[in-house]
Structure 1
């Protein structure tokens, strides 16, 4: 390793000394760590707008919560309402089918075999309709569950990426995405 000298003002030297002592690192090790930190995170040290990562994470957290609330309002709640209404309609259809079945069974008495066979066939068709309605309801519930699971996975992935932001510069990339999105929507 070759030693190199760095010229800094007395004020900055004093700050370097404080940082060195508080982090229990020698000057050269502290400077090396600073260099690697800026390289890993992508933070521009000359950008006076740079804020502490914790403040940025809080801002990102607020945006994430806002995003999730919008997803809940725009996707999950309407989907839940649609499933509820569909379920209600299907229950009414099933009740109608059962009413028709009871009427058909009651009318079987006094009819010939041909009429009875048609009524039995109608009953079988009604049972098939009931099964289709129940299957549709199950599919809607499955779709909602899959959507919720996808959202949970996305939240976990975003959380994991935020945790790794100091190593990959993720925080600045996300911050830029939101800045660009804000500019595009303005």
Structure 2
């Protein structure tokens, strides 16, 4: 590696010396690292408006936070509200469905009770009619065979008992 010389004024040389002492580097390696740093970051060293890199990061951080807040306001909050509204409408539909099912179950229960009542009433009427038929048959047998000579009345009584 060949060594090269650069011309700088006395004040810059003094500052460069202080900087090299504080960073514990010799002048050559400090200048080399400065060159690589400026090349890598793209910072223009003669631009007096250049800020401290931490200030630049802070500014960028504020921009990112601002961007995220705008995204939250414009996209996330409306989306959350839409989901909330959908959830509420879904709950209402489920409640309507539950009420309809309960109503149908109640109607079914009432109809089943009515059918059971009608069935019981019909069975009672049939039993009454059967008893009337039994009495009628016994009465006919008594008319035909008053003294029960043929044993028909006894046979009928044993059948009906």
Instruction: Give runs of aligned pairs for residues 21-36 of structure 1, distance below 5 A.
Output: 21-36=21-36
Instruction: Give runs of aligned pairs for residues 83-162 of structure 1, distance below 5 A.
Output: 83-109=83-109, 110=111
Paired with 2:22 and 2:65, the residues of 1 have a C-alpha distance of 35
Bigger CA radius of gyration: 2
Q: Over aligned residues, Cα RMSD in angstroms?
A: 1.4
Paired with 1:9 and 1:46, the residues of 2 have a C-alpha distance of 15
Paired with 1:7 and 1:41, the residues of 2 have a C-alpha distance of 24
- Corresponding residue for residue 38 of structure 1: 38
Cα distance, 1:108 vs structure 2:
2.5
Paired with 1:16 and 1:48, the residues of 2 have a C-alpha distance of 18
With normalisation by structure 2, the TM-score equals 0.65
Residues 144-180 of structure 1: CA distance to partner in whole angstroms, max 9, x if unpaired?
A: xxxxxxxxxxxxxxxxxxxxxxxxxxxxxxxxxxxxx
Residues 57-92 of structure 1: CA distance to partner in whole angstroms, max 9, x if unpaired?
A: 111111111111112211221111111111111100
Paired with 1:54 and 1:87, the residues of 2 have a C-alpha distance of 45
Q: Number of residues paired by the alignment?
A: 111
- Corresponding residue for residue 80 of structure 1: 80
- Corresponding residue for residue 60 of structure 2: 60
Paired with 2:93 and 2:46, the residues of 1 have a C-alpha distance of 68
Paired with 1:68 and 1:97, the residues of 2 have a C-alpha distance of 41
Secondary structure of 1:13's aligned partner: helix
- Corresponding residue for residue 8 of structure 2: 8
Structure 1: 4+ residue segments shifted above 4 A: none
Paired with 2:11 and 2:45, the residues of 1 have a C-alpha distance of 17
Residues 113-143 of structure 1: CA distance to partner in whole angstroms, max 9, x if unpaired?
A: xxxxxxxxxxxxxxxxxxxxxxxxxxxxxxx
With normalisation by structure 1, the TM-score equals 0.57
